[in-house]
Amino acid sequence: MPSRRNKLAGGLLALALAAGLTGCQSVQPTAFPVGTRHPAPKPPQAVIQFFQDTKPARHYEVVAKLNVHFEKTFFIPTSMDEARPQLEKLAREQGADALIDIVEKKSRLNETFIYNVTANAVVFTN
């Protein structure tokens, strides 16, 4: 029959393994306003257009530079699917209509995956 001390040690070991396997994650969303135009924030349900490989046909003005930085351990990669909601939230906070010049950068340091996305938040002027 296992002793109380062995049960406690086994439980602590299981807890440590579970915590280790879930990994650690860091998300750092930042926005840097640019220019003189500072539009009011958009409501949470406002649609933000993404122009990843093209530019909008409408005239626009850049109102902020956005950056979302992820770091995850234990070989858990990140993709645009995770970054997009963060970018949309930042864009709404800056009063933007769309995102342009979207650049993804991926790297790895040992077991840590690093994923960084930058974009320019714009408002349409016409």
- Regions of the chain short of the pLDDT cut 50: 17-19
In a domain, 1, yes or no: no
DSSP assignment of 79-122 = -HHHHHHHHHHHHHHTT-SEEEEEEEEEEEETTEEEEEEEEEEE
In a domain, 14, yes or no: no
**Can you give the CATH number for the domain in which 56 is found?**
3.30.110.70
In a domain, 110, yes or no: yes
Predicted local confidence at residue 99, as pLDDT: 98
In a domain, 68, yes or no: yes
Predicted local confidence at residue 75, as pLDDT: 65
Predicted local confidence at residue 80, as pLDDT: 83
Determine the structural domain holding residue 79 and report its residue range.
23-124
In a domain, 18, yes or no: no
Q: What is the pLDDT of residues 9-23, one digit of tens each?
A: 666 555 554 445 555
The total domain count for the chain is 1
Ramachandran quadrant class, 56 (left: phi over 0; alpha: psi -120 to 50; beta: rest): beta
In a domain, 11, yes or no: no
pTM, full prediction: 0.76
